[in-house]
Amino acid sequence: MLGNTFGKIFRITACGESYGKGLAVIVDGVPAGLSLTEEYIQHELDKRKPGQSALDSPRLETDIVQIFAGMLEGKTTGAPVGLIIYNVDTQKIHVDQYREVKDIIRPGHAEYTFFVKYGKYADWCGAGRASGRETVGRVAGGAVAKYILDKENIEVFAYTKESHGITARDMTFEEIKANYRKNEINCPDLEAAQDMIKDVLEISGKGDTAGGVIEVVIKGVPAGLGEPVFDKISADLAKGIMSIGAVKGLEIGGGFKTADMTGYEWNDGPYAEDGKVRFKSNNQGGILGGISTGQDIVLRVAVKPTPTISIDQSSVNMETMENTKLSAITRRDASLLPRIYPVIEAMTRCVILDHLYMWKAWCGMQRYENKWRDG
Amino acid sequence: MLGNTFGKIFRITACGESYGKGLAVIVDGVPAGLSLTEEYIQHELDKRKPGQSALDSPRLETDIVQIFAGMLEGKTTGAPVGLIIYNVDTQKIHVDQYREVKDIIRPGHAEYTFFVKYGKYADWCGAGRASGRETVGRVAGGAVAKYILDKENIEVFAYTKESHGITARDMTFEEIKANYRKNEINCPDLEAAQDMIKDVLEISGKGDTAGGVIEVVIKGVPAGLGEPVFDKISADLAKGIMSIGAVKGLEIGGGFKTADMTGYEWNDGPYAEDGKVRFKSNNQGGILGGISTGQDIVLRVAVKPTPTISIDQSSVNMETMENTKLSAITRRDASLLPRIYPVIEAMTRCVILDHLYMWKAWCGMQRYENKWRDG
Amino acid sequence: MLGNTFGKIFRITACGESYGKGLAVIVDGVPAGLSLTEEYIQHELDKRKPGQSALDSPRLETDIVQIFAGMLEGKTTGAPVGLIIYNVDTQKIHVDQYREVKDIIRPGHAEYTFFVKYGKYADWCGAGRASGRETVGRVAGGAVAKYILDKENIEVFAYTKESHGITARDMTFEEIKANYRKNEINCPDLEAAQDMIKDVLEISGKGDTAGGVIEVVIKGVPAGLGEPVFDKISADLAKGIMSIGAVKGLEIGGGFKTADMTGYEWNDGPYAEDGKVRFKSNNQGGILGGISTGQDIVLRVAVKPTPTISIDQSSVNMETMENTKLSAITRRDASLLPRIYPVIEAMTRCVILDHLYMWKAWCGMQRYENKWRDG
Amino acid sequence: MLGNTFGKIFRITACGESYGKGLAVIVDGVPAGLSLTEEYIQHELDKRKPGQSALDSPRLETDIVQIFAGMLEGKTTGAPVGLIIYNVDTQKIHVDQYREVKDIIRPGHAEYTFFVKYGKYADWCGAGRASGRETVGRVAGGAVAKYILDKENIEVFAYTKESHGITARDMTFEEIKANYRKNEINCPDLEAAQDMIKDVLEISGKGDTAGGVIEVVIKGVPAGLGEPVFDKISADLAKGIMSIGAVKGLEIGGGFKTADMTGYEWNDGPYAEDGKVRFKSNNQGGILGGISTGQDIVLRVAVKPTPTISIDQSSVNMETMENTKLSAITRRDASLLPRIYPVIEAMTRCVILDHLYMWKAWCGMQRYENKWRDG
């Protein structure tokens, strides 16, 4: 019920579950004349494909996207773009496995709250809309946003900053960009990455899983994006990213370190250079007063450990309201870090593009008695 | 431009600046028959009044709220409630002071981004809509939400968890409730509070300011609030709270500590007791799959140090694009912690109430072939 | 760009064109536990199928709906319902026909405005999103609304009141209900219907087409639906129905006859009967102050003649900006009346259901100090 | 509850009733740098002031608008503009009069539906939010839209086309413009106007009131405004105008006459002139496919007779549910035509401006691979 549409001008509306026939996303706000292709979107979808390394679930998800609306002879037409991805791995054997335990709460999962909200007809099969599979729609929609942002030279990079307490060292953006996709945990600090992978595999060997932190850098955002006071770009980024299932925290620029700082330390010294305002540091994370400064926007996102573990856990049978045990589950991601980054990138892109549209509206309008600038 | 309305069914729309005539908020979604009073709203507004301690700005803000619409003979009528608060401290002397430095960026403030966005007619006086004064509307609107939530026995508590690196110890909620308003920094750990106050005064003595962390506990929220997938209650809380000027981070339950945990550690063990599902711990912060579990919802919010400091800072003249110096400013809050908590409480209440309305819509509708429960 | 989502709580988002692969609609706000079937939706879709009589286009549209998301084992789950209808009649021969005349404005059609808005990449094939085929999504979404309204005993009836100047006589609702689907022009006045059909065929024989008026009666709507002041139920019905391509006017109750009336004539005399308020007449059309009265809601909708005619017309080549001629087109509907009524019913149902949700939210909330009623 | 905000990018949020302290409107989406004045807004408000002729209510409404937010030193700042109008004619004597009859339904008024919706605490005084006084907020907000549209050379004209069966003859727009404000019933056909006034006064002499039709012409709208498929400019105009209390019908261009026409008659012949597309007629009312054509947009609006009449009427006491009599009421408008046109103009302007913003967003974005045009 509700809650399946995101964005105001650039807007995605998604549906679909793990064990239904398929997932779709309708993308509204796409300009006419774009040579968008299924290959382009597929490339983004492939990033979240499982089974790419020992860290992910072996679930077979051959997510093949089909553009079924909004294009004519290879060009977008200004109409909403319709994308559908049919599920392939929905064998009856798995459905039956889910049916057997459908009344038993899987700790850290959403069965219980969906049961409360939607009653006994809540989707019990593969977590339904609370499944990570739901993010297929986000990534497909975000790929369309990416296609447009490419043309505006706005780039979004998400990579692993921390995994189960092991932290990547601070690096220049050039170093990050050169290295962030060189290993299966997407950590640009190649040494730390090896430690992280080893650590996750060790945890996984014990049937357990690990959490971590993803850092996001958005480059090329012009100054001026964000709508005070409630629709600050920071607020909308927070909403978009916190709406992803496993995300439990978000910080911008200095973030929680801010708590230990004084104003003198925190304030990023502005200075003029080449007729432009620049800043000596970026505690503000590229946002002041909820509006982009033209610097990199920098976020960090806390990702919880995969709740599905291969260890027996005590639980509750919701139907009988009796205490029971949930057996170990084998098919799972040892860490969400290798697969969640494209989802975070996708939501980030949707927010940035939505605000860019608003900025264009604003620039188009604000020029009456304000000859000082053209916006 | 835009961005001044928050919420879907319970909705606040605000306007007003530091040095205009006044601030107003229109509150839509108020049931008929409530004995709301100006005193009730005033009580909340008074919490954010400055000059209550040595930690705040000595600015004189006698914020007197007037209900000018939506009530008849002491009862709400179902019409939107109109609230206005006239500014009193808008003497020409202060306006002139602001005019003198209107082209000079105040580090950590939003002059530059407002200048980019709105051009030379951006409000240069007292930070305009980027001023903390804007939060008057939030607190007044949130007070109306509080009046309704009181009747639903839903309570929101916000208090200081950390100030400039000094952290309150972990306490039971009973201890917190008993003590959280006993000192001017709103810290329930009375010893830590003394250290915090002493520390902030010391920093303030050097012309500087301090950041901190506010913790929020929401009690009495029924299980079932939140609209997957994009309008999770966590996502909407994040948007509402991150839209407050000085907030730079937000975490739910385990939050960033999640990054160091394994799934086995993180999963809050569900168990049955008295025919209800309970949980052994609360790393999930009272939210699973974006829907409330019925536990306390627990958040932590990073608050930056006041950017206004009494130390000279290098800066830029936006008109001439030359480097310059911004002189020390004396009228300021040494810490935002004593005054920001009612704003955080207000936004939290607006979000919870908005979702409660949606929950009521849902309960009213979902009963057709679903006899198992009545919602 | 934008504009493809309708509704607030019960919400449809649609995409798809005449000559793309297919059309889809995502329906949000569907309660869990409904035994919705493809057959149920198909039944509504079949109503708008062409080729059912000599009055419609011979275009072959075997619109087979597939539910691909939002259901599990025959029950809705509370997740958004995804519906897709693949196009079958998209032969290259027709595409080539459209290509030949793609720069020539078809009078009464939207080529020109889409060209202005979306540029040369605007969809030129079969009118794209300006085609009547777009209404497939509306009807499919409206069928889901119908399923829910059935359970609330709310019924929507749309039938032909007038065709090309021939008007059905005034009839009791019982007469209307008994007869309104007995002929291919959906007119309950069976004699007038024969005149209408004969007249339309005659017009069609000359290569021309005819307009008309559809009347809508909504029965069973409880008093209380509608949100003053801007979201009056009348305003939302107007938006929903006027958003249908061929609709050029809408009136409620007395409508334009109102202009000739005095207040004494217009006012529907309220009286008490069996402890209920009733009205002697229904000039108000079942709505007062934008809120339903509990009477039938009655609307009349002006439908333009099909713009596609089999007569040569002068026109413009948009590419060369030269005057030219558009040749007669043979495949067309002689009147839109036989096929537009299910679209009008669908939009009506979406609006009524959306307001019903809001009413449930309101009833759930408004009970604090208002013991007089429970809502 | 809800429904008090209108528009997406240019957005007004209103509150206030007849007998509260005042009415306010918050106008969001106002560019910075405008020299908006209270005088400018007052000029529009004065148009709806009663007591200007024998046709209106003698109620004393000295509506003085105050801009209390969103401006600094005579210029808008990009922040939302706050406007407040205090009620002056709220003497206790009138309140007492309303109290006496508060449980008695006034035929044609909204007491009953407000009573159903909001219960016994619904505003019984002067019709509360169902009063025509509510439109003060619309007119004030629309005045801000007018200020911006002036600069875009977009003009809105509303005038009386028909009053109680007396119809103005068809005239050129030049004639209309020259004469439409020359008499108290705002009818450009000066002879018909005299007949109308005489007729209304005669009706009024019998204690009765009269309905009519307002025609609206919007000049200067560029081609391209409107967002298919649900947010067609026709659909949004319908919603905006049908949300005005007394409006019972709306038609665009040919409107209901469309029902009598054939396609050949209806289609407005496009032709090329001076490198532009023009049309030989305007049955389409300046809108095709929900997008403006660049022609005049022409609407007609059915306005019901004032429901307040000076004739005894049978009615119901809602508290006792007994049949009763409502005595004649003396203070009333004999016709709404002289005072409703500025409200219709205001809503029209809000819709046009909102779509203009969206158009600017679109033009700013749609230029990637579409070099053919710049938008």
Q: How far is CA B151 from CA B154, B292, C367, D1, in A?
A: 8, 19, 10, 18
- Count residue pairs from C and D with Cβ separation < 8 A: 411
Dihedral sign (CA C168, C173, C179, C181): positive
Task: With beta carbons under 8 A apart, name residues in chain C contacting B148.
Answer: 365, 368
Q: Do A31 and D370 touch (CB under 8 A)?
A: yes
pLDDT (mean) for C108-131: 91
How would residue D55 be classed by pLDDT, with cut points 50, 70 and 90? confident
pLDDT (mean) for A136-142: 98
Q: Do A260 and B308 touch (CB under 8 A)?
A: no
Residue with the larger pLDDT of the pair A330 and A30: A30
Token reading at A89: 């791995």
State how far the Cα of B223 lies from the Cα of A112, in Å rounded to an integer: 9
Give the pLDDT of residue C258: 95
Give the pLDDT of residue A365: 82
Give the pLDDT of residue B332: 83
Token reading at A343: 């989802």
Q: Is the distance from CB of A86 to CB of A21 less than 8 angstroms?
A: yes
Q: Do C228 and D311 touch (CB under 8 A)?
A: no
State how far the Cα of C358 lies from the Cα of B361, in Å rounded to an integer: 6
pLDDT (mean) for A33-46: 96
Q: Is the distance from CB of A84 to CB of A23 less than 8 angstroms?
A: yes
Percent of chain C with pLDDT over 70: 95
* pLDDT tens column, D62-102: 899 999 999 999 999 999 999 999 998 767 788 888 898 89
Give the pLDDT of residue C336: 96
Token reading at A7: 């964005």
Task: With beta carbons under 8 A apart, name residues in chain B contacting D21.
Answer: 66-69
User: Which residue is associated with the tokens 């057997």?
Assistant: A100
State how far the Cα of C288 lies from the Cα of A365, in Å rounded to an integer: 38
Report the residue of chain D nearest B81, measured CA to CA: D15
Q: Taking all residues of chain A, what is their mean pLDDT, rounded to a whole number?
A: 93
State how far the Cα of C260 lies from the Cα of D215, in Å rounded to an integer: 15
ipTM > 0.85, yes or no:
yes
Is residue A192 predicted with pLDDT exceeding 50? yes
Q: Is the distance from CB of B1 to CB of A291 less than 8 angstroms?
A: no
State how far the Cα of C136 lies from the Cα of A132, in Å rounded to an integer: 31
How would residue D330 be classed by pLDDT, with cut points 50, 70 and 90? confident
State how far the Cα of B299 lies from the Cα of C113, in Å rounded to an integer: 50
Give the pLDDT of residue A332: 83
Is residue A12 predicted with pLDDT exceeding 60? yes
Looking at the DSSP assignment, which residues form a beta bridge with residue A292?
A287
Chain B neighbours, 3+ Cβ pairs < 8 A: A, C, D
Q: Is the distance from CB of A86 to CB of A22 less than 8 angstroms?
A: yes
* pLDDT tens column, C3-27: 999 999 999 999 999 889 999 999 9
Supply the DSSP string of B124-192, one letter for each residue: -STTGGGSGGGHHHHHHHHHHHHHHHHHTT-EEEEEEEEETTEEPPP--HHHHHHHTTSSTT--SSHHH
Q: Taking all residues of chain C, what is their mean pLDDT, rounded to a whole number?
A: 93
Q: Do A288 and B6 touch (CB under 8 A)?
A: no
Q: Low-confidence residues of chain B, pLDDT below 70?
A: 1, 51, 58-61, 90, 367-375
Is residue C91 predicted with pLDDT exceeding 90? no
Token reading at C336: 């839109």
State how far the Cα of A226 lies from the Cα of B6, in Å rounded to an integer: 15
Whether omega for the bond prior to residue A95 falls within 30 degrees of 0, making it cis, is no
- AA letter at B20: G
Supply the DSSP string of A17-83, one letter for each residue: -SSSSEEEEEEE-PPBT----HHHHHHHHHHT-S-SSTTS--------EEEEESEETTEEBSSPEEE
Radius of gyration of chain D (CA): 22
State how far the Cα of A111 lies from the Cα of A128, in Å rounded to an integer: 9
Range 272-301 of A in CB contact (< 8 A) with B: 272, 275-277, 283-285, 287-294
| Nearest Cβ partner for B17 among D3, D9, D79 | D79
Give the pLDDT of residue A363: 86
pLDDT (mean) for D228-243: 98
* pLDDT tens column, A275-320: 999 999 999 999 999 999 999 999 999 999 999 999 999 999 999 9
pLDDT (mean) for D312-322: 94
Q: How far is CA C163 from CA A157, B315, C156, D268, in A?
A: 61, 74, 21, 20
* pLDDT tens column, D186-210: 999 999 999 999 999 999 999 999 9
Q: Do C366 and B148 touch (CB under 8 A)?
A: no
- Cα C8 to chain centroid distance, Å, stands at 18
Q: Taking all residues of chain D, what is their mean pLDDT, rounded to a whole number?
A: 93
Task: With beta carbons under 8 A apart, name residues in chain D contacting B1.
Answer: 9, 28-31, 78
Lowest mean pLDDT among A312-316, B91-95, C112-116, C123-127: B91-95
DSSP letter for B348, please: H
Q: Is the distance from CB of B84 to CB of B14 less than 8 angstroms?
A: no
- Count residue pairs from B and D with Cβ separation < 8 A: 188
State how far the Cα of B290 lies from the Cα of B270, in Å rounded to an integer: 17
Radius of gyration of chain B (CA): 22
Q: Is the distance from CB of C303 to CB of C211 less than 8 angstroms?
A: yes
pLDDT (mean) for A172-196: 96
Give the pLDDT of residue D61: 65
A214 has a chain B CB within 8 A of its CB: no
- Cα D64 to chain centroid distance, Å, stands at 20
- AA letter at D120: K
Q: Do A26 and C4 touch (CB under 8 A)?
A: yes
Give the pLDDT of residue C59: 62
C6 has a chain A CB within 8 A of its CB: no
| Nearest Cβ partner for D107 among C112, C228, C270 | C270
Give the pLDDT of residue D342: 97
- Gap from A369 CA to chain D (nearest CA, Å): 5
Give the pLDDT of residue B372: 37
C9 has a chain D CB within 8 A of its CB: no
Give the pLDDT of residue D126: 85
Q: Which of B340, C242, C32, D365 is nearest to A34 (CA)?
A: D365
| Nearest Cβ partner for B229 among A4, A108, A269 | A4
Beta carbons within 8 Å of B100's beta carbon, 6+ residues apart: none
* Beta carbons within 10 angstroms of residue C181's beta carbon: 14
How would residue D1 be classed by pLDDT, with cut points 50, 70 and 90? low
Q: Is the distance from CB of B141 to CB of B14 less than 8 angstroms?
A: yes
Which of C8, C9, C26, C354 should be substituted to probe chain A, the one whose Cβ sees the most A Cβ atoms within 10 Å? C26
Token reading at A74: 């290879």
Give the pLDDT of residue B260: 96
Q: Which of B120, D356, B117, B115 is nearest to A363 (CA)?
A: B117
